[in-house]
Amino acid sequence: MRRLVPVVVLVTLLAGCTSAPTVPSAAPNEPVVETPAPAPTPEPTQEPETGLVQPAQVFDGDCNAIFPIDELKAILGSSVKRTDSPDSSGEASRYVTAQSGGVTCSWASADYANGIVVTAVPAAALPLTTAKACQKDGYGGGGVDCSIEAEANATRLSGKVWFAKAGSRNATKTATLVSLFEEKAAAAQAVPLPIPNEKSWANPVDCSILEPMLDNPKVLGGTGDLQIYQGNGSDVYVTPAERVLFGFDDRADQVACAITTADPNRELTKAEIKAGKFANISMSFVGGAAWVEKELATWDGVEKLTIEGVDSAYLVTHGDESGSVSIIVAFDGPNMLSATTTAGGVAKRFATITLAVEALNAS
């Protein structure tokens, strides 16, 4: 950033024999009016971010500023490329890292045999200290799965790297990455942890807050005999920092609260389905992420909804390899939530969303 430097004009007083000009005195009986000096203009103060705008991100949220692709290709292989893209699913869980002032990036080979996921986040966002350097925590098999972390300039750089095959060459590559993590963290510019709005939900949400909902006949169309658990149990690569931010273990990829029947494998009867009952619903919550609405409202495939008890809501429909997927996204105060849905069952999920928002706002 280029700074504007004030120019100071130096006035030189010429000494000599020239007499000073005579100041005329006021006329007799004419009052002398003194012009008051203008009051100094107060310097503008910047209000702290309180969850209503997107927080500043470390590395300006730029994955290329963390690891240029050529740098990773030299270590992981020439076929490595960025695997994540700007999200358009509407899932609230995708924004928990950004809401904490961080960014998550991933790179992998075409067959996903080699890859790396990196989370850069203000160190103050992490209440726990996870192991640094290379910690083996793979899923088994003949490959290498290693967590790497480094911290400097109030920034935590957290990553997970994997190789399809073990071997001394991969050990050397991993050692190189450990050094790179330290180097990148040392080059980071510190970003302050966002100040939560007083009405923001806690991140991550404790799903036990929603347990009183389970006895309400409006939840899941009165399916009954419900239980709630944290996360959706997806088996994906997440960094140690994400595990802390999400509040989950290594086998979860969403900040989600899943409500399901006591037997999630039980198929509903035709009568239950006809009555609009559902076997489960998964809801993701991010306190303070209402700034996402401005972006989401401009996406294609977005339909405005009206849900009682929330400020605004949308149905986001997008396609993937398995077909069309729809997600209900709602905003209330400074907060964001998303909920899974099925074709024809959108409105019948509204009551569950309303009750969840009421429970969180009352907590």
Q: Where are the domains of the chain?
A: 58-186, 207-362
pLDDT at 275 (0 to 100): 80
Label residue 9 by pLDDT band (50, 70, 90).
very low
Listed range (75-89, 92-106, 142-156, 182-196) with the worst mean pLDDT: 75-89
Listed range (86-90, 196-200, 252-256) with the worst mean pLDDT: 252-256
pLDDT at 129 (0 to 100): 67
> Which carries the bigger pLDDT value, residue 314 or residue 4?
314
Label residue 244 by pLDDT band (50, 70, 90).
confident
- Residue 305, Cβ density class (10 Å: 0-12 exposed, 13-18 middle, ≥19 buried): middle
Q: Do residues 134 and 182 lie in contact, with contact meaning Cβ atoms separated by under 8 Å?
A: no
> Which carries the bigger pLDDT value, residue 12 or residue 142?
142
Mean pLDDT score, 229-240: 67
| CA atoms of 333 and 328, how far apart (whole Å) | 17
Mean pLDDT score, 333-355: 88
Label residue 297 by pLDDT band (50, 70, 90).
confident
Structure tokens at 225: 């005999």
pLDDT at 106 (0 to 100): 92
Q: Do residues 118 and 157 lie in contact, with contact meaning Cβ atoms separated by under 8 Å?
A: yes
Residue 3 has pLDDT above 70, yes or no: no
> Which carries the bigger pLDDT value, residue 181 or residue 321?
181
- Residue 198, Cβ density class (10 Å: 0-12 exposed, 13-18 middle, ≥19 buried): exposed
H-helix or E-strand spanning residue 168: helix 168-186
Mean pLDDT score, 26-42: 49
| CA atoms of 242 and 126, how far apart (whole Å) | 9
Count of helices and strands (H, E) across the chain:
8, 13
Q: Do residues 51 and 288 lie in contact, with contact meaning Cβ atoms separated by under 8 Å?
A: yes
* Residues sharing a CB contact under 8 Å with residue 69, sequence separation 6 or more, in sequence order: 80, 81, 82, 107
pLDDT at 187 (0 to 100): 93
Residue 25 has pLDDT above 70, yes or no: no
CATH class of 207-362: alpha beta
Mean pLDDT score, 191-201: 89
Average pLDDT, the chain: 79
pTM: predicted TM-score of the whole model, two decimal places = 0.76
